[in-house]
Amino acid sequence: MRQVKVFLNEDEIPRKWYNIMADLPTPMSPPLHPGTGQPLKPEDMAQIFPMNLIEQEMSPERWIDIPEEVLEKLLLWRPSPLCRAYNFEKALNAPVKIYYKHEGTSPAGSHKPNTAVAQAYYNKEFGIKKISTETGAGQWGSALSMACNMFGIECRVFMVRVSFDQKPYRRLMMQTWGAECFSSPSSQTEVGKKILAENPDSPGSLGIAISEAIEDIMGKEDARYSLGSVLNHVLLHQTIIGLEAQQQLGKIGEYPDVVIGCAGGGSNFAGLSLPFVRDKINGKEIAIVAAEPTSCPSLTRAPFGYDFGDLAQTTPLLAMHTLGHDFVPAPIHAGGLRYHGMAPIVSHLVKERLVEARSYHQIETFDAGIKWARTEGFIPAPETSHAIAAVVEEARRAKEEGKEKVILFNWSGHGLVDLLSYDAYFSGKLTNYTLPDEEIDRAKKLVAQFPSP
C-alpha cells in the first residue's frame, strides 16, 4: 500500500528554531526609528514588546532553543503530518510528486498557533499579564486567544468591525478560549472613541485596530502588544514547519525541486521555506516560490523601501516590499493576504533572488482550492489556495518541459470557517482585481520620502 503520510514521533520534534540571520549572504537593512532615522535600539521597542522577544527579534544566532514549555503545548498537534497528494497529482496528470505540510491540524486550524504559543510563553516569562492585538478575519486573534489562555494571560483582541459583524465564527473561537474580542473602532480606547464620535458607522480597518491595540497597552508595566506575522521573531517561530518537513522528507529519501507557500505578511511562507533557503545559500539547486494575490502584489510589483508596518505609523520603519502603509487592498476573500507590506526577511530574499514571487488571481485560486477539496478531501483556506494555484502552475510547467519534479508546499490552514467565500465562488460573485499602475507609482513616491535602504 502506498504511503500517504509521513509522521514524526514526538521525540523527533525539532528542539531549536532556525534563524536565517546567521546565514544571509548580504546583511539586511535594519529597522529605523521613525523620529531619528537611526537604526532601532532594543529599548525603543520595550514599551510594545517584552525584552526577551525583542532580543530574539535582533538575534544573530543560527539556532535558538525552543523552551520545553512551548514544546509541551505544540505537542497538542505537532509534529504535523507531511502528506503526499496522490489524488491531486493524478488530477493534474503531470510528472510531479506533490508533498504538503498539513498545518490545518492545529486547534485554530492554521499555522498561526506556532508563534502564538511561543509569544504567549515569552510574555508570561517576562511577567506580562495582558496582551492586546488586532485581527482582521480572525485567524491571528483566535490563535493568540488560545495561546494566552494556555499560559493564563489575559487577551484582548480588536477585531475590524466589518469582520466582527459578518464573521462571527472566529470571534466565537476567541470567546471560547476566554479572550475578550472588541468590535473596532471600540469605546475601549481614545482613538476608537474619537473615530466613533466622528463616524458612528465606521466599518473599521486593520490600521485602526492596530492603533487601538497599541494604545490599549501603552504605559502599562504588565501589558504588551503582539503581532502575528512580518517580524523576524514571528518567522523564526514558524521555522518549525520547514525543519519538520526536512526530517520527514529525509525519512523517505526525497528532496524538493520546488518549495511553495502563500505570502501575506510572510510567516507561513517563511516558516516552511527558510530552512530550504539555507540549503540554497549552501549550494543546493532549488526553486523557492512565494504566491501572493494579484490584487495585493507587494512582492511582484511594489517597490522595495522603508515604510511603516501600519496605517497609524506606530511601528518602526521597516525595509520591505510595500504598497504603502495607507494602501487599501481590494476585498478579496483571502483576508490573511491583504497586507500592504511583506516581512523584511522575505522582502530581502526576493531582492537577493533567493526567493521568486508570483501572483495569482482570486478566481484561479478558488479553482485550484476546489480541485484540491475534490481530490484530497481537505477544504483549504482561501490563503492556502494561492499556494495550491502555484502548485498547479508548477505542474503544468513540468509537463510542458517533460521534467519530473518534486514539489513541497505549505497547506497553511483549512477553510471550514471561510466557507462563505466558497458560496461567493459558486454563486458567481467572485471578481478578479488587477492593481492599476498608478497605485504602484503612488507607492514608489511614498517610499521615496523615507531613507533608501
Residues interacting with a copy of itself, by CB under 8 A? 1-5, 7, 9-11, 68, 71-73, 75-77, 83, 87, 105-107, 109, 113, 146, 149-150, 168-169, 172-173, 175-178, 370, 373-374, 376-379, 416-417, 419-420, 422-423, 426
52/175 with CB nearer a copy of itself: 175
CB of 360 to a copy of itself, least distance (A): 19
CB of 371 to a copy of itself, least distance (A): 11
- At 259, list the grid cell: 518549495
316/380 with CB nearer a copy of itself: 380
> Which SS3 state, helix, strand or coil, does residue 141 take?
helix
113/305 with CB nearer a copy of itself: 113
251/442 with CB nearer a copy of itself: 251
CB of 249 to a copy of itself, least distance (A): 16
Q: Identify the bridge partners of residue 285 per DSSP, sorted by sequence position.
A: none
Q: Cis peptide leading into 185, omega within 30 of 0? A: yes
275 close to 235: Cβ distance less than 8 angstroms? no
Per the rule left: phi > 0, alpha: psi between -120 and 50, beta: everything else, 313 is left
CB of 420 to a copy of itself, least distance (A): 7
CB of 401 to a copy of itself, least distance (A): 30
Pick from 338, 398, 342, 387: which is nearest to 365 by CA? Answer: 387
143/343 with CB nearer a copy of itself: 143
CB of 88 to a copy of itself, least distance (A): 11
82/446 with CB nearer a copy of itself: 82
- At 385, list the grid cell: 489556495
| Distance of alpha carbon 141 from alpha carbon 146, whole angstroms | 9
Residue type, 388: I
CB of 367 to a copy of itself, least distance (A): 12
76/197 with CB nearer a copy of itself: 76
Residue 197: exposed, middle, or buried by beta-carbon count in 10 A (0-12, 13-18, 19+)? exposed
How many beta carbons lie within 10 A of that of residue 166, not counting itself? 11
**Angle at the Cα of 398 from the Cα atoms of 392 and 404, rounded to 5 degrees:** 120
